[in-house]
Structure 1
Amino acid sequence: MAQKVLDPKYTPWVPHYGNVRPFIDYPEVTMYEMVRRSSEQYPDKIAYEFMNDKVKYRTLIQQIDHCALCLVKEGVTADDSVLICMPNCPQAVVTLYAANKIGAIATMVHPLSAKGEIEFYIQNCECSVVLTLDMFYSNFPEIKDGMKLQKIIVSSIADGLSPFKAFMYKHVLDGRKDPKVDPSNRGVVFWKDMIKQDVTGVPEPVSPKTTYDGAVILYTGGTTGRSKGALLSNMSFNSTALGMTELSEIYGTGESIAAVMPIFHGFGLCTCVHLPFCIGITSILVPRFTPDSYSKLIVKKKINFIAGVPTLFEHMLRSKWLQNAKDLSFLRGIFCGGDTLAIEAKQRMDAFFAERKCPTFVREGFGCTECLTATSITPKDEQRPGSVGIPMPNDYYKITEPGTDTRVPYGTDGEICIAGPAVMNCYYNEPEETEQTLIQSDEDGLLWLHTGDIGMMDEDGFIYFKQRLKRMIITSGYNVYPSQIENILLNSGLVKESCVIGVPDPLRGSKVKAFVVPAPGVEGNTETMSKLRSYCRTQIARYALPREYEFMETLPRTKLNKIDYRQLEQMDAEKRASMPQKPVREHKPKREPRSKKQQ
């Protein structure tokens, strides 16, 4: 499918590409096919490493092909969706590409999602099969007659390891007992049993899907804050991976990338997994980490490319592993996204790495789930303070008057709009939301994604992100949508109305605060607050839980009788400014008890 090329007057960034091709003829193949090509070109190179176990590309493609046959035997077809609720581990990655080979859609969701969220994802993506860890199995509904969901494949972290490593992990390193999942439960299939199946006679799956068909669903808040699945195509992944490789000029400069960013997020899935698989380098899969353990991993394994969110990098700079490092010249790419990186923080990070002989600076990017991940990135040899870079090859940016197709002059704030192969096909089963977000321009004929973010483009095409037009809170790099939390609070029966905002937090960047008007007959006291906390823990992912509550008799309203969240933000800011400068005591959700070995 030929892509329209815009008039040069609309692409002022092209002269700043240097040696980078401004337009690339991306291969029109599936995600699976990209990995298969790498397995043929680099059969003996390491494709992924997991807890020090290393797997070559020739073995990776064998794992994917075998898993695809196993899924077919379990009843998966090209018309299905496979929901993957897993941390960064081999089973998740292999299943993703196996589903893609079949032609099924892979739906990636947060493994720490609450029960209510899991049920919504299952219904929304219409999945027939789920892959999850044993420790998360209890969050999934019981399979009943009439449900589209037919199988729940249950795995464990140890399933991704060699037999000896699996034994060591389960009995020595981790110290936890695997949660018991009753094998007689309807639809339960254990990964270790499924993967050992005899697949003789199972027909080899051939995907009927094209490069432009939907391949993966990633969930985002959309324009209203209610979760919606962004259906992203094979081309979205392939063009983003190859375009980022081209503009970053990383091909041939390194052999490994750390995959610590979660694979249910486009940043982690594409940048840290699909990109390395497309160019034949190693993805080091990390299922869980701390800033200190990530720093240790980088230094010990001399990783060439790393990715993270601003708060993660800020914490890593205080790690003894990086502070004591004398030579970080092996670092060839440092990519930062997911949240705003303050100019001062970036300068501090660049200086830190430069002092340790790192040959590159921190490369910022901009994007959103609706276009998979970053579609703009800082060029290799040119950076501008506050800028998130220039568009990647084949992707276009324009700044418009919010909610319109009218371009604003260079240097003027407006809504950031994106067009190109990375943009999603649609919000899955959400035609109205899709129509409001993907708008074809009368001016150039392109289909533009209206991001709902405010930014500016300078005369040279460099993009500057300013603020989010949509009400969204970013806490520790995770997106939290206030309207989702408000709806859950309302459903508790304890709340008449509420308003959720983000407030400053020294560790997370922002944290969630809920202003609550109690329901009639309910008092705004500590007992009610305790009940709300308990209720929310069953309905909301841990990272999105309100950390502060404030009861009010009424909430301020605008002239249109809508809750005035901006006034609440201002009230809270003024209150904090008048308080003594000391940490605000906040509620910490209860953790599961740990064994002595863990402690």
Structure 2
Amino acid sequence: MSNRWDNFFNEKHEINYPAMTMYQLIRESARKYPYNIAYEFMNKKTTYSEFMDKIELTAKALTSIGIRAGDAVTICMPNCPQAIDTFYALNRIGAIANMIHPLSAVNEITFYMNISNSKAILTLDQFYSKVVEARKGADHTVVIIMANIADELPKYLEIPFRVKNMGKYQGLPNEAYSITWKDFLHYGSKFPLPLPKITFEIDRTAVILYSGGTTGTTKGIMLSDLNFNALALQSSVAMEVPYEKGQKILAVMPLFHGFGLGIGIHTCLVKGICCDLIPQFTVKTYAQMLAKKKPNFIAGVPTLYEALLRTKGLENVNLSFLKGMYSGGDSLSVELKAKVDKFLKDHHATIQVREGYGTTECVTASCLTPANDYREGSIGLPYPDTTYVICEPGTEKQVPTGEDGEICLAGPSVMLGYLKNEEETAQTLRVHEDGKTYLHTGDMGYMDADGFVYFKQRIKRMIISSGYNVYPSQVENIIDAHPKVLISCVIGVPDAYKMQKVKAFVVLKPNVVPDESIKQEILDYLKDHVSKWAMPYDIEFREELPKTLVGKVAYRVLEEEELQKIAEAEKKAAELNARAEARKKEAPKKEANKAKKNAK
């Protein structure tokens, strides 16, 4: 069955999804490109052939400490070789990679280890003490594998790094349940038995990623080999960039995030591209790396690109080496896209930033703007073999073309389900009348007659003011277009009469001084562009907006701050009322006492 958007692909593509694990698919890349660089880390290069050897050794090491097919191991790491080697080694032996943020709090790490029943956890020495503390709350035995960045540095960097960080982080672990990365690999080198042969199973959980899900609470998302391999093969088609030897991506998006792991790592390795692993960065160092390393592809969240526009260091840099720039993880406003595209053109790049859309429930992207057919406000066309429909929220009933509804999608990258949460899985994965299982994203949007998809808002984030629906992203787009505004965030604040009222938080451009006149200027500007019920009742200026761990604007933090202000105001009002009531009760007594005194 054809879809209305099929005509917009440059050519018809029939994708073969091989019955292979993730490891088996990149092993094919290694056979085709053995001497290509698979990844680079701090200028140390690893070829695809060497990468296969490292995976084999790590797989033997995992087996030597008792990890078997079906067991989970938590990877609590930034983008570095030990994490990549372990990820594919786990897949090599049929185990599960449980991916978490290394900056997670102690209780969060405990939760992740327990819900996944992880038998081991890999982390860096700098996070070791936190992981030890988290392990105390584990409801089962967990082995800690402690790695060190220096273990994977080139020799000329290793010694200075160790000297600089001497005594700063955990040395040799003292706990009986812990092992260093070097000892771990040594066990692997001495393991006498051959590794088990793992066959592809379409419904086997290979990876667990974490997300707020479609309802806002943390959930483990079970993803299969097919999910990741389909993403890689579909992305290769949708990106419309032919393979060339020596191509490189600047892999800054973290591997515990679907975008970083699925696009920045797996898709590139499947294509034979080099992943330049970046464990941490600032906007300044990112700009420096962009100029120095000259990657062909970059992928990031909108806030990263917004920050790049402000940073110094790229003024005279020729960016013609870029062949693909992709934005995901959050909505890219029309205004920011225009600014980024102008920046690229001014720096001699022949491309434009391309926005993708997806959720962790389908690994990451499942929709991408075409290279040569951008439609303002659109998040693009569905991936090959992926079907998008727009439904009345909470139902399987499709709405007419052009009308708002919930974005639902079906395809080979859609998750197996939520870990140990059948109720939420049943609400999110639903079989429609065409027999396909659709992921109900919890996002509002619409589709035009040509199949281009337009994202409006998270259903849960939508503001209802005086009975009208207000989409914060639309108001943000308008505010961001103001010549003195850098970025904004709009939230709903509880109101007794309107249910919710709109408030805007604004970061102004450099050298613009926030004052009442600027606030009024923005409000006057908004009056010409938004409806009465979408008008902010207040604008609060900030030097910066709070961000999530993956760089999205953390609007929930702002919502919580406002709720706290309201709670404090209500508490203060209650105290004042109590004092007033007390004074009222005391007044008659005072009058009586006064009368007695006068009578005397």
The bucket for the TM-score relative to the shorter chain is 0.7 to 0.9
Distance change in 2, residues 1:553/1:504 (3 Å): closer
TM-score scaled to structure 2, two decimals? 0.77
Distance apart, 1:382 and its partner CA: 1.1
Determine the C-alpha separation between the residues in 2 that align with 1:89 and 1:79.
Answer: 24
Matches within 5 A, 1:325-336: 325=317, 327-336=318-327
Distance apart, 1:317 and its partner CA: 1.8
Bigger drift between 33-42 and 278-287 goes to: 33-42
Determine the C-alpha separation between the residues in 1 that align with 2:279 and 2:19.
Answer: 31
CA displacement, residues 463-485 of structure 1 (integer Å, 9 cap, x when unaligned): 110000134999xxxxxxx9xxx
- Partner residue in 1 for 2:420: 429
Distance change in 2, residues 1:182/1:395 (3 Å): same
Distance apart, 1:236 and its partner CA: 0.9
- Partner residue in 1 for 2:21: 30
Determine the C-alpha separation between the residues in 2 that align with 1:340 and 1:225.
Answer: 17
Determine the C-alpha separation between the residues in 1 that align with 2:294 and 2:224.
Answer: 33
2:42 touches 2:154 (CA, 8 Å); kept in 1? no
CA displacement, residues 16-71 of structure 1 (integer Å, 9 cap, x when unaligned): 012251x4122220010112111111111111000111111110010001000000
TM-score scaled to structure 1, two decimals? 0.77
- Partner residue in 2 for 1:506: 507
1:311 touches 1:507 (CA, 8 Å); kept in 2? no
CA displacement, residues 185-207 of structure 1 (integer Å, 9 cap, x when unaligned): 13101112111233341331322
- Partner residue in 1 for 2:177: 187
- Partner residue in 1 for 2:52: 61
- Partner residue in 2 for 1:479: none
Matches within 5 A, 1:90-239: 90-141=81-132, 147-172=139-164, 175=165, 177-180=167-170, 183-197=173-187, 198-239=189-230
Q: Could you say which structure has the higher helix fraction?
A: 2
Determine the C-alpha separation between the residues in 1 that align with 2:255 and 2:508.
Answer: 23
CA RMSD, 1 decimal: 2.8
Determine the C-alpha separation between the residues in 2 that align with 1:76 and 1:154.
Answer: 16
1:245 touches 1:275 (CA, 8 Å); kept in 2? yes
CA displacement, residues 135-163 of structure 1 (integer Å, 9 cap, x when unaligned): 11222256579943331101121122234
1:353 touches 1:361 (CA, 8 Å); kept in 2? yes
Q: 1:370 aligns with which of 355, 361, 378?
A: 361
- Asked if 1:452 is matched to 2:453, the reply is no
Determine the C-alpha separation between the residues in 2 that align with 1:345 and 1:329.
Answer: 20
Q: 2:233 aligns with which of 235, 242, 253?
A: 242
Paired residue type of 2:291: V
CA displacement, residues 321-380 of structure 1 (integer Å, 9 cap, x when unaligned): 32221x211100000011111111111111111122211111101001101101000112
Q: Which has the higher contact order (CA 8 A, sep 6+)?
A: 1
Determine the C-alpha separation between the residues in 2 that align with 1:286 and 1:146.
Answer: 31
- Partner residue in 1 for 2:529: none
Structure 2 residue ranges without an equivalent (≥5): 463-471, 474-490, 492-499, 510-547, 571-600
Determine the C-alpha separation between the residues in 2 that align with 1:279 and 1:103.
Answer: 23
Q: 1:420 aligns with which of 400, 407, 411?
A: 411
2:20 touches 2:200 (CA, 8 Å); kept in 1? no
Secondary structure at the aligned position of 1:177 is classed as: coil
- Asked if 1:319 is matched to 2:311, the reply is yes
Determine the C-alpha separation between the residues in 2 that align with 1:319 and 1:541.
Answer: 21
1:69 touches 1:205 (CA, 8 Å); kept in 2? no
- Asked if 1:302 is matched to 2:283, the reply is no
2:113 touches 2:138 (CA, 8 Å); kept in 1? no
Q: 1:341 aligns with which of 332, 338, 352?
A: 332
Distance apart, 1:180 and its partner CA: 2.4
Q: 1:284 aligns with which of 264, 276, 287?
A: 276
CA displacement, residues 507-562 of structure 1 (integer Å, 9 cap, x when unaligned): 99xxxxxxxxxxxxxxxxxxxxxxxxxxxxxxx97987947463444899xxxxxx
Secondary structure at the aligned position of 1:389 is classed as: strand
1:44 touches 1:57 (CA, 8 Å); kept in 2? yes
- Asked if 1:16 is matched to 2:8, the reply is yes
Secondary structure at the aligned position of 2:249 is classed as: strand
2:64 touches 2:191 (CA, 8 Å); kept in 1? no
- Partner residue in 2 for 1:463: 453
Q: 1:73 aligns with which of 64, 71, 85?
A: 64
- Partner residue in 1 for 2:525: none
2:43 touches 2:154 (CA, 8 Å); kept in 1? no
Say how many residue pairs are matched.
490
CA displacement, residues 428-474 of structure 1 (integer Å, 9 cap, x when unaligned): 11111111100011x20000000000011100000110000134999
Distance apart, 1:404 and its partner CA: 0.5
Determine the C-alpha separation between the residues in 2 that align with 1:542 and 1:456.
Answer: 27
- Asked if 1:259 is matched to 2:251, the reply is yes
Secondary structure at the aligned position of 1:388 is classed as: strand
Q: 1:351 aligns with which of 329, 342, 345?
A: 342
1:170 touches 1:177 (CA, 8 Å); kept in 2? no
Paired residue type of 1:470: K
User: What is the aligned-residue identity percentage?
Assistant: 44
Secondary structure at the aligned position of 2:186 is classed as: coil
Distance apart, 1:182 and its partner CA: 5.9
CA displacement, residues 153-188 of structure 1 (integer Å, 9 cap, x when unaligned): 01121122234432122225xx46342256331310
Determine the C-alpha separation between the residues in 1 that align with 2:229 and 2:422.
Answer: 25
Matches within 5 A, 1:37-48: 37-48=28-39
Determine the C-alpha separation between the residues in 1 that align with 2:508 and 2:283.
Answer: 12
| Larger Rg over CA atoms | 2
Distance apart, 1:319 and its partner CA: 2.6
Distance change in 2, residues 1:145/1:388 (3 Å): closer
Determine the C-alpha separation between the residues in 2 that align with 1:503 and 1:102.
Answer: 51
